Amino acid sequence: MRFITSAITSVILIVFSSVVFASDSSTPSQMSAMPQMSDSNFSQAQKFINNKEYDKAISLLEKVVSADPKNADAYNLMGYSYRQLGKLDEGIKYYQKALDINPNHKGANEYLGELYLMQGDIPKAEERLQVLEKVCPTGCLESKILKDHIEIFKKKGIQKN
């Protein structure tokens, strides 16, 4: 079980790094919604995440949300960082903060679904997939990734005890 969780986490990290961090900044729509003073901290936090320095990323992201408490992208990345550190309860907390701000946040819905899979909770992961399918009815990368991971978990018979 530990091997499968580790393998899935590695796949998630690879996909996350190649898709989200293909450049030094997030997508233009994400960056334009953030205050200028947070851009530097947010960009640096992304670099730390890309280098697997999650504690450093969290410190900067805390500054971002302190300056902009409605920054769903920063809360999402905090959730991701905590998840990568194995602090799943903290990850859930920050993904939920992102979703409280923006219930249709594609990244937070996908990553929360992946966290639920790490816990073996396929039904909760499927709930996040349903949200993504409503948010992007013609399909999006986030729903495809989560759907693929759910299918892998179902085939392996991995479920919550």
**Quick one: pLDDT band at residue 80, thresholds 50, 70, 90?**
very high
**Quick one: pLDDT band at residue 60, thresholds 50, 70, 90?**
very high
What pLDDT, on a 0 to 100 scale, did the predictor assign at position 161? 53
- For residue 32, being part of any structural domain is answered with no
Task: Give me the CATH number covering residue 143.
Answer: 1.25.40.10
- For residue 31, being part of any structural domain is answered with no
**Quick one: pLDDT band at residue 149, thresholds 50, 70, 90?**
very high
Angle between the 72-84 and 106-118 helix axes, to the nearest 10 degrees? 20
* Helix-then-strand count for the chain, H and E: 9, 0
- For residue 124, being part of any structural domain is answered with yes
**Quick one: pLDDT band at residue 32, thresholds 50, 70, 90?**
very low
Instruction: Give the global pTM.
Output: 0.75
Q: What is the maximum alpha-carbon separation in the chain?
A: 47
Helix intervals (H) in 51-105: 54-67, 72-84, 88-101
How many C-alpha atoms does 82 have within 13 Å on its Cβ side?
23
- For residue 71, being part of any structural domain is answered with yes
**pLDDT tens figures, 97-134:** 999 999 999 999 999 999 999 999 999 999 999 999 99
What pLDDT, on a 0 to 100 scale, did the predictor assign at position 160? 63
Residue entry with tokens 């979703």? 99
Range of the structural domain that residue 108 is part of: 2-22+37-156
- For residue 42, being part of any structural domain is answered with yes
DSSP category for residue 158: -
* Closest to 18 (Cα-Cα) out of 47, 50, 60, 43: 50
- For residue 121, being part of any structural domain is answered with yes
Provide the number of structural domains found in the chain.
1
- For residue 28, being part of any structural domain is answered with no
Q: Does the pLDDT of residue 6 top 80, yes or no?
A: no
Task: Check: CB of residue 74 under 8 Å from CB of residue 64.
Answer: yes
State the average pLDDT over residues 14-35: 34
- For residue 27, being part of any structural domain is answered with no
